[in-house]
Every structure is written in C-alpha cells, then in structure tokens.
Structure 1
Amino acid sequence: MYDVETRKRALALVQQGRSVNSVSKQTGISRWAIRNWQTRLEPVARTADCTRCAPEPRAPADTAAYTYLLGLYLGDGCVSPLRKGLFFLRIACADAWPGLIDACAGAMRAVHPRNSVCRVQRQGYVMVTGYSKHWPCLFPQHGPGKKHERPIVLVTWQREIVATHPWELVRGLVHSDGCRITNWTTKIVAGARKRYEYPRYFFTNRSDDIRKMYTDTLDRLGVAWRQTNAWNISVARRDSVALMDAHVGPKY
C-alpha cells in the first residue's frame, strides 16, 4: 500500500524522537505498519558491528551513557527476542517524567547509535524501545523470568565501567526504581509547634542482587543509607542527600 519513500519518511519521524502514535496520526499510517517497517527497512543499522562480539571485545564508546542505561535496564528494562536473531531492549518510563523518557532514549542511541529507537505509548507510561541483534551482548544479565527470581551479577567489563562511572549507575537505578521525596515532621520549639521538612531518596527493588549493587555503590561513594524494609533502601542524612542531589537529582 505504501512506497519505500513513504515508509522511510515515517521512520525518519520516529527516529527524531516522535512517538509511533503521533507519527501515525500525522501521516494516517497505522501504528502496526510503522512498527512492522521498523523491523524490515533497517537491516544494515540493526546488524552494525558490536563492540562486545567484535574480534577484540571492547567497551561501548560512550561508557557513561551505557552505565546510566544499565541502571535503567536493571530497574525497569528487559531484553526480549523478536524474530530471526533480532532482539529489542524495552525500558518502561512513566508519562509523569518526560525528561526521563528523553534521557532514556538519548542513552539508548548513544550506546547503539546506528540502531533505531522508538517510543511506544502505553496507558500511563512510554516503552522506550531499541532493536538490535546485539542487546544480549551488551546486557548479559538478560534471561527468562523475572530479575528477582534469578541471579543478577555484573561481568568483569561491566564492573570496570561502573567503577569509572558509579554515579551514573546510581542515577539510572534511582530514575527507574527510586524517587526523591520531601518528608515532614513537627516539633515543639519555645512552646510553639513548628513544621520541619527534609528531603530523602528511596530505592525499591525486589532483587537482592540489584539492591546490593546499589548499596555497594553508595558505600564506595560515601553515601549513608539504611534498609527500611525487605525491598526498600533509604538515604536521609543531610550530607548524603546533598551528594545525591548533586549527582542524581529528582526525576522530571
């Protein structure tokens, strides 16, 4: 029904960061058709050389972006097979944080610049999605089942990158499965009740391995933390919150 140039124009709009839904409304082309073209018209980009399965494996070119993307993947991401050796990396980002959606898409492009990245709108969230044969090479933690039901361990080259960019891992984990909130309490001072507010960070994940990865990194960075329940890590001390604010900050 559509010639090749029409298909390429629609895909170009998606690659500019537009959602498939908005491109569909603008062009009158069905969302199903656009998503189908994404897997059919860009074989060269999807099979670009991989830094990990090259004859001499090396780290991704943008290691900071990779570390941030790793944090997002460990929190709200998955690598799933599509067909014929093609995989897609999907990371769920809530509609409430458009800045996070942009940062996620930007990191995904930086890590695999020759592969397509699209945004698929769901109810209440956007699934930032990238297609490649090489996502399993870049995220060896992928596998069947939920992350908290299987071991999640970084391999040597990932640990070396995280050691170089620890704050990027913390930022990715907090942006996926964490938050910055403001707590408050009241105290009697000179006979009058006063309200005091103080910020704190929370990180919640059911995987023991991922929580330990988070807290071990906080320890190396000098950030004080405590576990408030089985799945939740809190950072509340003023100096530690100031460090988190300087390097992580709230989602936006």
Structure 2
Amino acid sequence: MYDLETRKRTLALVGQGRSLNSISKQTGISRATIRAWQARIEPLRQPGECPRCGDQPTAPQPPRAYAYLLGLYLGDGCVSPHPRDGHYLRIACADAWPGLIDACADAMHAVHPTGSVHRLQREGCVSVVSYSRHWPCLFPQHAPGKKHERHLQLTPWQREIVNAHPWDLVRGLVHSDGSRITNWTERTTAGVHKRYEYPRYFFTNKSADIRRLYTDTLDRLGVEWRQANAYNISVARRPSVALMDRHIGPKY
C-alpha cells in the first residue's frame, strides 16, 4: 500500500513526461501500479458533463482544437478501452517533433479540460494519453480493428466543425501522417548544369476514407494535389505549397 503523498509525487513525475520505466526504477513502484494510478486520477464524469451525452448534444469546444485533434486521431491515434471502465485516447508523436508533442497535448487538454494529459515515452516516439469515459462520444469513429480495414465517415456534427475550420483538420492530418520536404532535380540549360530545389507536401495513409477526407478538404481550400502512388498524396505546385506554408508549415 502507498500513501497519498507517494502517489502524488509519482504522478507528478509522469506529468513531467518521464517514462514509466525510469519512474519505476527511481521510486521502486511497479509500472503496472503506476498505470493503475493514472487510470484513477480523473474522477468519472457524469453523462451530462459530456457535450455529446446530454439531452441536447452539442459540439466539443473549442472547435478549432477539436478539428486539429481529429486530424491527429485519424492519423496516429486510437481509442482503447480500460480493463475496468472508461477509455484512453492515445496519439503517437515522433520524438523528432517536440513542438508537435506540445501541440497535441494542448489540443487534448483544450477539448477535455477536466482530464489529465500524460506523455509516455516509447521507443522513438511519445504517446500522448488521456483517460475518460467519453472519448468514444467525441470520436465515434472508434471501433475494433485498424482504421484502414474499416469504413470511416464523419458524423454531421463533425462535418460542421470541419467545414468551419478546415485548415485545422488539414494541419492535424499533415502533422500526424504528412511531411514537408525539399525535392531537387538537375538540368542542363545552354550548356550549364544546374540544380533546382523546390518544396512539396506529402500525406500518406492506407485508409482510402481518410485520404478522401484530406483531398476533399484540400479541394474546398483551393489546394491542387495529385495521387503520387497508392497511399500518397502530393502537393507540389508553387501556389498550393505557398498556401499550405501559410496555414501549416513544417513540423517542429
């Protein structure tokens, strides 16, 4: 048995982004015990406190943060059940992009302000995690199996948010499954050999439904794109890249 102060000190280490393995070695408390404490730190919310569970369901707030978090979830996120009750929302963010990790945690906390958000270090990535009974209400695409192996469609209330804040959805999708790279080519003109460099955006996802959501949104925003291969969407035309740079830019 551990007293309350020990639990608080241990969970404070978790909140600092420390891995469960390092915390366990420092405190002598097993990782399973720490995980169990994490699952209990948020009191179970009443159905009326969830914007989707009331008699008159409303959209999650703030909508821009939700649109961004939706993009991250569709790319690298999952909702998984807790063994006893409730669900975890987990979004994997590569170690190479600390700014993305912060943005993900901020959006998760904004959409679910009464819950705690934790960063769990994995090999090569940080898993940003929050516990609630209501994540399935906020992400009704949740279901068993891989996203690309099942049909995904936004609900009417999600479409209203995406239509109002399309760039935030695109930013979330690109931050999760996209990249901004610099391509190059060489040409010989008038006997002079030159190297040309140009930026482009790529978005890669196995789910045809998620790719279609991405490209349909780009169409509404006036961004020209092309299908680079089976799973890859490319934005390379200079005006479209400039538009993407204005609203998204490289990950950081």
TM (norm. structure 2) is 0.93
Deviation at 1:83, TM superposition (A): 2.7
Number of the residue aligned with 2:228: 228
The answer to whether the Cα contact below 8 Å between 2:44 and 2:132 also exists between their aligned partners in 1 is no
Q: Structure 1 vs Structure 2: percent identity of aligned residues? A: 70
Structure 1 letter corresponding to 2:118: C
Matched to 2:107, the amino acid is: A
Q: Check conservation: 1:205, 1:231, Cα contact below 8 A.
A: yes
**Which position in structure 1 is the counterpart of 2:101?**
101
- The aligned counterpart of 2:18 is 19
How big is each residue's C-alpha offset from its partner over 1:132-174, in whole Å with a ceiling of 9 and x where there is no partner?
Answer: 0000000000101111111100000000000111001100001
Alignment of 1:1-252 (within 5 A): 1-15=1-15, 17-21=16-20, 23-24=23-24, 27=27, 29-44=29-44, 49-252=49-252
Separation (CA, whole Å) in 2 of partners of 1:90 and 1:231? 23
Ranges in structure 1 where 5+ consecutive residues have no aligned partner:
none
In structure 2, relative to structure 1, the CA distance for the partners of 1:112 and 1:232 (3 Å cut) is: same
Retained in 2: the 8 A contact 1:46–1:131? no
1:13 CA drift (Å) = 4.3
Paired with 1:93 and 1:4, the residues of 2 have a C-alpha distance of 31
Task: Report the aligned-residue RMSD.
Answer: 1.8
The whole-number CA distance in structure 2 between the counterparts of 1:81 and 1:157 is 24
More off after superposition, 224-233 vs 44-53:
44-53
What is the deviation of 1:11?
Answer: 2.2
Identify unmatched segments of 5+ residues in structure 2.
none
- The 1:46/1:227 distance shift into structure 2, 3 A limit, reads farther
SS at match of 1:18: coil
Residues 79 and 90, structure 1, Cα contact 8 Å, conserved in 2: yes
Q: Structure 1 length as normaliser, TM-score?
A: 0.93
- Bigger drift between 160-169 and 24-33 goes to 24-33
Q: CA deviation at 1:215?
A: 0.2
* 1:190 Cα deviation from its structure 2 partner: 3.0
Check 1:45–1:28 CA distance in 2 against 1; reply closer, same or farther (3 A cut): farther
Kept after mapping to 2: 8 A contact 1:201/1:241: yes
